[in-house]
């Protein structure tokens, strides 16, 4: 086979793959699964936020992360059914993000190069969450993730301190981007604002701003302490989402601060539900 034939075959395969991807992205099933993903994302943030808020106001509650949220769901009436639905939703959200990363567009919106990189990272992250939800469903996952153990393992790799440090810097960058989206309300560009009433648009803008700023705080703390773990070669310095909330609680006026951040996470959960209705897929 000549070089030109190989090139033609590769081009044909690429075109066929792109056409198949477009067919998937334009299907009704893809839209339903994608919108279910926003509901699942909202549910996870709502559980974490509500539990943290109850702790902040002295009404029980606890600090937990995404895995802990799955265990909370599993222990409710019909918990296994709910967890199955949650896993499907998270898988749908991951699939939507990965498709947008691969194609650069969906049936209702398109992405820039930076957006596609962000979509890839988000798709992989939510794919991991879907896998963890399945593990919890099957009873093979413990109550919460061990960020210290994971970080310690990575630090032991060749160049591990650099990997952990870079991961921390990336998380700080993600946090700053969350803050930028919240302050500028650029997230509204991703929504079908033309389908909203004026009051609904104002309400979603406010809720989204609070939610994104809360994510900025927790993501920023995760990034800062990852960098600290790398610099000090101290795995126990690393924290996850639950550890970031615990750091807030242990500050002066920590209960008040935790209450504010927890309310912000609940606001992001509400915003996620609005995304299920108005987001451009």
Given this model, what pLDDT does residue 6 score?
A: 45
> What pLDDT score was predicted for residue 159?
85
pTM above 0.75, yes or no: yes
pLDDT of residue 55: 96
State residue 163's pLDDT score.
93
3-state secondary structure 210-230: HHHHHHHHHHHHHHHHHHHHH
pLDDT at residue 143 in the model: 53
- Residues with pLDDT less than 70, the chain: 1-21, 141-146
Distance of alpha carbon 45 from alpha carbon 270, whole angstroms: 9
């Amino acid at each position: 086979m000549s070089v030109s034939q190989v090139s033609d075959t590769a081009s044909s395969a690429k075109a066929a793959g792109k056409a198949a991807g477009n067919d998937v992205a334009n299907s009704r099933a893809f839209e339903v699964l994608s919108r279910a993903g926003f509901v699942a994302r909202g549910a996870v943030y709502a559980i974490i936020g509500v539990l943290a808020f109850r702790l902040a106001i002295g009404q029980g509650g606890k600090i937990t992360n995404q895995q802990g949220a799955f265990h909370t769901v599993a222990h409710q009436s019909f918990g296994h059914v709910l967890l199955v639905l949650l896993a499907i939703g998270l898988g749908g959200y991951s699939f939507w993000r990965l498709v947008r990363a691969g194609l650069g567009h969906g049936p209702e919106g398109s992405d820039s190069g930076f957006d596609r990189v962000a979509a890839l990272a988000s798709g992989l992250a939510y794919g991991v969450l879907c896998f963890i939800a399945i593990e919890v469903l099957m009873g093979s996952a413990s109550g919460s993730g061990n960020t210290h153990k994971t970080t310690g393992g990575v630090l032991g790799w060749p160049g591990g301190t650099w990997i952990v440090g870079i991961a921390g810097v990336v998380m700080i960058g993600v946090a700053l981007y969350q803050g930028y989206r919240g302050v500028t309300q650029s997230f509204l560009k991703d929504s079908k604002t033309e389908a909203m009433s004026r009051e609904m648009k104002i309400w979603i803008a406010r809720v989204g701003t609070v939610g994104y700023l809360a994510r900025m705080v927790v993501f920023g703390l995760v990034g800062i302490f990852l960098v600290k773990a790398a610099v000090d070669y101290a795995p126990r310095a690393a924290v996850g989402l639950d550890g970031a909330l615990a750091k807030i609680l242990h500050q002066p006026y920590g209960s008040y601060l935790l209450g504010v951040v927890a309310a912000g996470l609940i606001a992001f959960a509400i915003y996620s539900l609005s995304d299920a209705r108005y987001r451009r897929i």
